[in-house]
Amino acid sequence: MSTKPAIGFCGLGAMGMGMATHLVKQGYPVTGFDVWPPSLEKFAAAGGMPSSSLADSAKDKAFYIVMVASAPQAQPALFGDDGIVKALPKDATLILCSTVASDYVKSVEQELKDVGRSDLFFIDAPVSGGAGRAADGTLSIMAGASSAAFEKGQWLLEEMSAPKKLFVVDGGIGAGSNMKMVHQVLAAIQILALSEAYGFAVRLGLNGKDVFDAVVPSQGWSWMFENRSQRTLKEDYFPGASAVTIILKDTGIITYMSRRANFPSKLCSIAEQVYFSALDRGWGANDDAGIVRLWTAEPVSSITSSLSAEQKESALELVIDLLTGIHLVSAAEAISLAHHVGIPLPQLYELACDAAGGSTMFKQAGAKLIEILEGKDAGKGSVLGGYAEKLKIVVDKAQEIKCPLYLGSAALNALLATGPSLSLGALLDGYSVKQGSV
């Protein structure tokens, strides 16, 4: 008999399967539930205990992890008549790892009280890192909860996360989800940015491989660019590793929460409209790296460039300047939103610099933006004139070749709306965040 505590687990999709089987490998007896029988079989084959009853998966479990796709899936799983909450024993620890709106996790906290289950130790703990890191137990986890709940459950979060990748976020329930949401602002914008950049590049007559080689060591680098390029360059979209519907779900949470907070998510909301248009093309289940097909029917790596060396260099510079400008504004958008919802900014910086939302511009400008918001830079920060001028040249060129730049043109508008000062502080003001207010 195992000396390690039994764990219940709901949601054996790509992420959940990795997390649950990792725990099995660590010697935990894990009872896993899923509505899809083949997942249960796969879980059993990996040494887990499958359960076709939610209530059974929760019965007598001092620890329970929920990793379903969305709030509409979580709600009946948690609070249904045969659901998890009713079945959990007294003083159990319940961890919700799904990416959901912070409003939703707060409603779960309230509903636990309303149904008389205040005894449960509830943790809001969305994750990041993809299926590979889930299976390795090296996820990034952003967690918010009471200190009592962390005392009970932090060891389990540590089992699933990499060293230093468990971020305990101040603010209780909702803070983990808010941190994840803010991080996904970067992800949502930067995923579209790379397709826009490759699409623009193709229309400039560049080959995708040359673009990759030029962007990676440049100021235009982002984690998403480097990661998704592997699929863009091979047209590995069917189904690929991360469907359009996944980033669209996260984008939807961001823009929905932004509207509730009266926050203008300038780039994220335009990204969402373009993701909708990708859905309309029937690409929802394809990899998000395939959104470049909005710009080009030809594979980006099959373009035979007829540009001279000089023309090629100047075209590559335009692509880098496009990404740099977008990533700069995405940094301001994410950090402003973090400030708006009360996320600790240095923690966001630490997390995002080394995660899927990372970019060279986030590293560089992010630090300065945070100084301004924390009142440590009375001068309101660096001047953006150079970035605005470069992005203008990019948008001029795109206009000449009639290439849509949804993010590029919106990022330029955000820079121009800073007015004559063209300062980072004015860029933050454009997100209507006032210094010192939260």
Give the residue, chosen from 224, 270, 303, 348, that forms a contact with a copy of itself under the rule CB under 8 A.
Answer: 270
Give the residue, chosen from 87, 412, 424, 428, that forms a contact with a copy of itself under the rule CB under 8 A.
Answer: 412
Q: Does 414 bind a copy of itself (CB under 8 A)?
A: yes
Q: Does 255 bind a copy of itself (CB under 8 A)?
A: yes
Q: Does 252 bind a copy of itself (CB under 8 A)?
A: yes
* Shortest distance (Å) from residue 371 CB to a copy of itself: 22
Q: Does 420 bind a copy of itself (CB under 8 A)?
A: yes
Choose between 88 and 274: whose C-beta lies nearer to a copy of itself.
Answer: 274
* Shortest distance (Å) from residue 295 CB to a copy of itself: 8
Q: Let me know: does 183 contact 355? Beta carbons within 8 Å.
A: yes
Q: Does 274 bind a copy of itself (CB under 8 A)?
A: yes
Give the residue, chosen from 269, 305, 311, 314, that forms a contact with a copy of itself under the rule CB under 8 A.
Answer: 269
Q: What does the alpha-carbon distance between residue 378 and residue 209 come to, in Å, rounded to a whole number?
A: 43
* Shortest distance (Å) from residue 431 CB to a copy of itself: 7
Q: Does 417 bind a copy of itself (CB under 8 A)?
A: yes
Q: What does the alpha-carbon distance between residue 431 and residue 141 come to, in Å, rounded to a whole number?
A: 27
* Shortest distance (Å) from residue 177 CB to a copy of itself: 18
Q: Does 221 bind a copy of itself (CB under 8 A)?
A: no
Interface stretch with a copy of itself, choices 41-49, 211-219, 266-274, 348-356 (CB under 8 A): 266-274
Q: Does 405 bind a copy of itself (CB under 8 A)?
A: yes
Of 333-392, which residues contact a copy of itself (CB under 8 A)? 388, 392
Q: Report the 10 Å Cβ neighbour count for 252.
A: 17
Give the residue, chosen from 74, 355, 410, 427, that forms a contact with a copy of itself under the rule CB under 8 A.
Answer: 410
Q: How many residues bind a copy of itself (CB under 8 A)?
A: 46
Q: Does 409 bind a copy of itself (CB under 8 A)?
A: yes
Q: Does 277 bind a copy of itself (CB under 8 A)?
A: yes
* Shortest distance (Å) from residue 231 CB to a copy of itself: 22
Task: Give Cβ neighbours of residue 45 (< 8 Å, ≥ 6 apart).
Answer: none
* Shortest distance (Å) from residue 432 CB to a copy of itself: 4
Q: In the complex, which residues of this chain contact a copy of itself (CB under 8 A)? A: 248, 252, 255-256, 258-259, 262-266, 269-270, 272-274, 276-277, 279-280, 294-295, 388, 392, 395-396, 399, 402-406, 409-410, 412-414, 416-420, 430-432, 434
